[in-house]
Structure 1
Amino acid sequence: MSLPVSPTFRLDGRRALVTGASSGIGAACAAALAGQGAHVVCAARGVEKLQAVVDELTARGQSASALALDVADPAAMAATLEAEPGFDVVVNSAGLARHSPALETRPEDFDAVVGVNLRGAYFLSAAVARKMIAARKGGSIIHISSQMGHVGGTDRALYCATKHGLEGMLKSMALEWGRDRVRINSVCPTFIRTPLTEATFANPERVRWIEEKIKLGRVGEVEDIMGAVIYLASDASALVTGSALMVDGGWTAD
C-alpha cells in the first residue's frame, strides 16, 4: 500500500498581491503569505503605512514590496496591474463600512461602499484573472468577505448588500474560470479586533451582543484569519472554488 502525501501549504516561488495591506486583516494576510514563502506585493492607497508593513516583513527575512493601488478607481487599478507581472495568489482585503439605519443611508455612502466592496472587488478579480488565464498557470483569488454576506445585521443593510453581492459574484466567476484553473473563494470573518473596529469594541452593549452571537464565546483576532487564507492560497485547497470559508465562531450556524 502506498499512502498519499498531504499537499503542501507552502507558497515558495509564488507572487501574491494583498490589497488593503496597510493594517488590520490585510496586514495579517500579507504576513501569512510571506511566512509561507511567497513574495507579497502589499497594496493600498497610502504607501507610507504600507512601507511599515513591508519593512517588518523584510526584517523577518521574508520577501515583500509596496504598491500604491486604489480599488475604488477601476481604470487606474487596471493600468497599474497591467504594468505588474502576473500574480499566483490575490487576497482582496480592501473594504469600506458606513453603517446606518436603512432609512438614513445617503446616496453618497451607498456609492462609496459599493464602489470599494463590490465594484472594486469585481474589477480587481477580472484584472488579475485575465493575466492568470493568459499565463495558463491558474491561480487563487481570495476575497475577505464577511459573515454579513450570509446573514443580516441591524444598521448594516448597505454593508450586507455589498457582501451578499460579493458572494454571488465569486460563485459566477468560479463557473467561468474553473476550466482555466483560476480559483476564487471568500473568507467570511465575524467581528475581528482591528484599528477599524475599535469603536465597536468600545461599546459594552455591542460587545455583549457580539459575544452572545458567537458560539465560541469570543471575538475574532487577525490571527484567526491567517490559516484560512494560507489554505485557500495553497495547493491544499486545489479543488476548492466558488466557496465561502466561514471564520465566524459559529455565528451563522443558527
Structure 2
Amino acid sequence: MLLEGKTVLVTGGSSGIGAAAAVEAARQGADVAINYVGNQAGADAVVAQIEALGRRALAVRGDVAKRETAIAFVEAAVAAFDRVDVFVSNAGICPFHAFLDMPADTFERTMQVNLHGAFYMVQAAANQMVAQGDGGAIVAVSSISALVGGEFQTHYTPTKAGIHSLMQSAAIALGRHGIRCNSVLPGTILTEINRDDLADGEKRERMAARVPLGRLGEPEDLAGPIVFLASDMARYVTGAALLVDGGAFVNLQ
C-alpha cells in the first residue's frame, strides 16, 4: 500500500496510461480524482473501478489546454478529499501528420494540450501543495519522443521534450517546499493516441520487433513506475526521468 492515505490527481484519466495509473493508485491505498475531456463512459468506468477497491473517486470534466480547467480540477479535488498529495500530469494528444504541410491549428492544439496543459496543471497542483506545507510528488508522462525524433511527430516531440524539461526545472523550483518532480518516458504504448497509427499490422510487428523485451507496452506497464515515483520509496528522487520502453531507446545497433 505505497500510497495509503494519499490523495492522487490524474489528468487524462478516463483511458490509457491515465486510467491505469488512477486504478493502481487506488489499489495502493489512495483516493483518486481524474480529469477527462470527452470520454464520459471511460471516466465512469474508472470511477467504478476505484470505488470497487474501497477508495473514494471523483471525475472532473475539462479541457487541460485552458488554465481555468487546472484551477477548477484542483479545487474540486480539495473540496472532495481535503488535499493534494500526488499529481500525475498525463493528458496528451498526437494527431500524426507530415511536417511540410502541418496545419497551424494542429500544431497549436498539440502544444496547448500537451505542454501548456501540463504547465497549468502542474502549477495549480504545486500551489496547493505549497499551501498545505508538507510536500508532495508530481509525476509527468513525457515520452521516449523527448529523446528521439519522429517523421510524423514534429509537433508532438517538442511538447514531450518540454514536459521532461518542465519536470527538471520544477524540481529545482519546488524542492525547497518538499515537492518532488519526476517524469516517465514511455515507449510505444498501446493506447488510443496511436490506435490508428498501429492499425497497420506489419508496422506494429516491425515496431514490436525493435523492442528488446519483445512486445509493445500496455498502459499498466506505466502504472507501477508512476506509483513508485509518487511514493515515499522514491523520497530522494527528483528531477529524474525514467524510461519505460521495454529497452527500445538503447536498441540502436
- Aligned residue for 1:179? 176
**1:213: how far off?**
2.7
SS in 2 for 1:228: helix
| Aligned pair partner of 1:98 in 95, 99, 104 | 95
Q: Following the alignment from structure 2 to structure 1, what is the Cα–Cα distance between the partners of residues 154 and 52? A: 42
Q: TM-score normalised to the size of structure 2?
A: 0.91
Q: Following the alignment from structure 2 to structure 1, what is the Cα–Cα distance between the partners of residues 52 and 114? A: 32
Q: Following the alignment from structure 1 to structure 2, what is the Cα–Cα distance between the partners of residues 214 and 133? A: 40
Tell which deviates more after alignment, 44-53 or 218-227: 44-53
SS in 2 for 1:199: coil
Do the aligned residues in 1 keep the contact of 2:7 with 2:31 (CA within 8 Å)?
A: yes
Question: Which amino acid in structure 2 is aligned with residue 64 of structure 1?
Answer: A
Q: Following the alignment from structure 1 to structure 2, what is the Cα–Cα distance between the partners of residues 201 and 26? A: 20
- Aligned residue for 1:243? 240
Question: Which amino acid in structure 1 is aligned with residue 115 of structure 2?
Answer: L
1:200-253 CA distance string (max 9 Å, x none) = 332123213312332222110122111101101100001111111100111211
SS in 2 for 1:78: helix
**1:48: how far off?**
4.3
Do the aligned residues in 2 keep the contact of 1:214 with 1:249 (CA within 8 Å)?
A: yes
Q: Following the alignment from structure 1 to structure 2, what is the Cα–Cα distance between the partners of residues 52 and 211? A: 29
| Aligned pair partner of 2:3 in 11, 27, 31 | 11
Cα RMSD of the aligned pairs, angstroms, is: 1.6
Count of matched residue pairs: 246
| Aligned pair partner of 2:16 in 19, 24, 48 | 24
Tell which deviates more after alignment, 86-95 or 30-39: 86-95
Tell which deviates more after alignment, 61-70 or 175-184: 61-70
SS in 1 for 2:120: helix
- Aligned residue for 2:123? 126
- Aligned residue for 1:65? 58
Q: TM-score normalised to the size of structure 1?
A: 0.91
- Aligned residue for 2:35? 43
- Aligned residue for 2:152? 155
Moved segments of 4+, more than 4 Å? none
- Aligned residue for 1:3? none
Q: Judging changes above 3 Å, is the alpha-carbon distance between structure 1 residues 157 and 78 closer, same or farther for their aligned structure 2 residues?
A: same
Question: Which amino acid in structure 2 is aligned with residue 43 of structure 1?
Answer: N
Q: Judging changes above 3 Å, is the alpha-carbon distance between structure 1 residues 206 and 11 closer, same or farther for their aligned structure 2 residues?
A: same
Q: Judging changes above 3 Å, is the alpha-carbon distance between structure 1 residues 61 and 159 closer, same or farther for their aligned structure 2 residues?
A: same
Do the aligned residues in 1 keep the contact of 2:36 with 2:61 (CA within 8 Å)?
A: yes
Question: Which amino acid in structure 2 is aligned with residue 49 of structure 1?
Answer: G
Question: Which amino acid in structure 2 is aligned with residue 141 of structure 1?
Answer: I
Tell which deviates more after alignment, 80-89 or 37-46: 80-89
SS in 2 for 1:67: strand
Q: Judging changes above 3 Å, is the alpha-carbon distance between structure 1 residues 210 and 186 closer, same or farther for their aligned structure 2 residues?
A: same
Question: Which amino acid in structure 2 is aligned with residue 100 of structure 1?
Answer: H
**1:182: how far off?**
0.8
1:147-180 CA distance string (max 9 Å, x none) = 1011111211111011011111211111111111
1:62-91 CA distance string (max 9 Å, x none) = 332222232111124324424542310011
- Aligned residue for 1:75? 68
